[in-house]
Structure 1
Amino acid sequence: MRLYVLGGGQLALMMCWESQRIPVHFSVYDPDPSAPAYRCAKRPSDPLEEVDKADAVTFEFENVDISLAERAEKLGKLRPPLAYLKVKKSRIEERALMDSIGVPTVPWRRAANWEEAIKIAESMGRAYVKVPTGGYDGKGQYIYPHEAALIRGLAGELLVEEYVDIRREFSIVAARAENGDVYFYPPAENFYVHGILVWNYAPTKVPEEVYEHVHRILEWGKYVGVIAVEFFEARDGRVLVNEIAPRVHNTGHWTLETDASQFENHVRAVLGLPLRRPRAMAPTAMVNILGVGLGRLPLAELERLGRVYWYYKAEARPRRKMGHLNITAGSVEEAAARAREALRLIYGADFPKLVMRSRPSP
């Protein structure tokens, strides 16, 4: 079997790591010759020809070469389907899809330009204005009225969302096989700073209704592979989908400590193999290593707390995901306490300033 992954970042690297027990020829396309996944995966000599050779094509990120994805879809090889990738390329289209299939989201409106966005935000009183494309890890998001000056002059269509008072954020990572079999990993509770995930833990308790919401998203386009769905739980009791990620996801990195991670199950699903249900699963916390190079990490102390995963990126920059730490424990409370200790070790007294030194740009 030949699997071709579009995008060569850390997600593709971990897919490659976790596919070693599967008889698969694993290749990756990324225009960056130093992309992390090239440490493990083959690099095709002709990116388009590799689509023709592959048994299945998938992607590790939304901002990949769309022409390769379209070619794979035409040949019936792209998993998950192209429709999910196209929806994810626009926050507005993502919101419209959720509305169409009856999945609750933050109340939102479409604005033709920044002037209209300001008017809509004024009518809401307090709002988020978001650039529809290219946004991830908190990029392209502005709070009104606090950041009104940054909203003025933004080009093109914009998404305006009502400000919601959030009690907590959590996510569901699910895998769906080609035959419709679905497996839900235990929910994770997530902690963000300026839109970027800093740490999380699993399992956590969530309302049963969220599983129905995820099922609707999976069935809409007959999804194949792993998907992450991020939720807000508002203080008024509403449970709202914040966004979807039609791929393996940062909030599911903790699953590497199980015997069937999100990365392995994604590879299995897109190749048409049966899903594996994890048989070994302990309470686990994950801490992102953001903007800190290997030379500055207290590695020995972190390894006493858990297991370090390093992504081999050439340069450490503010907010850049350089690696992560997974911590297993006898209870969620113990895992969370050790995660907070890890945050102090990694970032010291400067946390979160060290991590968030630069404001995300549009």
Structure 2
Amino acid sequence: MPERAAPFQNRGNHHETCEDTSHRARGRHGLRDHRRRRFRRGAVDHGERRRLAGCQRKAWFEPFAKETGAKILEQEYLGDLGKVKAMVETGNVPIDLVTVETATVLQGCDAGILERLDYSKIAPRDKFIQGSALDCGVGLDAYGDILAYDPTVLKEAPTSVLDLFDTTKFPGKRAMRKFPAQNLEWALMADGVAPADVYKVLATPEGVVRAFKKLDTIKKDIVWWDAGAQPAQLLASKEVVMTTAWNGRIQNAIDTDKKPFKIVWNNQILEYDMISIPKGARNTELAYKYLAYISEPKNNAKLASYITYGPVRTDAASFVAPDALPKLPNAPDHLKGAYLVADTEFWGDYGEDLVKRFNAWLAQ
């Protein structure tokens, strides 16, 4: 039975086995998948997304096709939800799956563009980690916004992402992403707000002022980065003593480029890649079959053998390869300390205003 697939794209890094061959597998029909740029991420890193597509191909596409006889054809797509919306409105939906960020799942669900999922066809909803099983989308993987440093440069090792704000103990330039998300949350936590209260505080005018006031304390020491490759480059060139980063980028620099970098997981921010079924998809039952396949604990854990992003099933950790588990953001040991699950609904409500406020603050 021929099916279709369009691009599984991501911002993450990969092991060298994840070759990008998406240009070889394009087609007009089949089980398709799309990814839109994520609001929280800012600019799209096309290379990273293609590499993650290669990892998903090894972990899921190929074994699923072999097991079911389905043919998965991939087609690169880097647009936004508007294109999926147009398909749904015209009744011509040639895609069966769409991979998106969590904010887009909420947006598409509210707009009636995405199907409300029947979890009885996928997996028990309570078996997914917090925030990764939504009404119209189920998690693919978990990744972490973390702190990285070079131990050959820093005499003392930082123990928390919040050490970004301690310029007395850790003098020198530090790099942060040029975007308000994550930075405002960390600023509040560094100012004493408990992770459980961060979004409650940030939703108030006083909380926003408090977050920016904390950022003011290190503003002159910040080097801003825009693309996922920059944090590792800034560390390697010794332009900064520490940097925020996506965990996959730093792990790739450690494993592939043999850099001496270290990752600090305490106070990381945990996020997810998601997958949904567009309204009016032609192969809905097969789409559910694929979602069920990748959501089985053993299969859910397979991606971690190719890229350092974790499974979203609570019972999948035992299936992760022993050498891969310590590198995952949601490895049990990395969740023993403080961490925050990103609230994409909050950023959907307040993000536009906070981006404007952040850009104005940068210009001051």
What range describes the TM-score normalised by the shorter chain of this pair?
Answer: under 0.3
Which structure is higher in strand share? 1
Higher RCO (C-alpha under 8 Å, 6+ residues apart) = 2
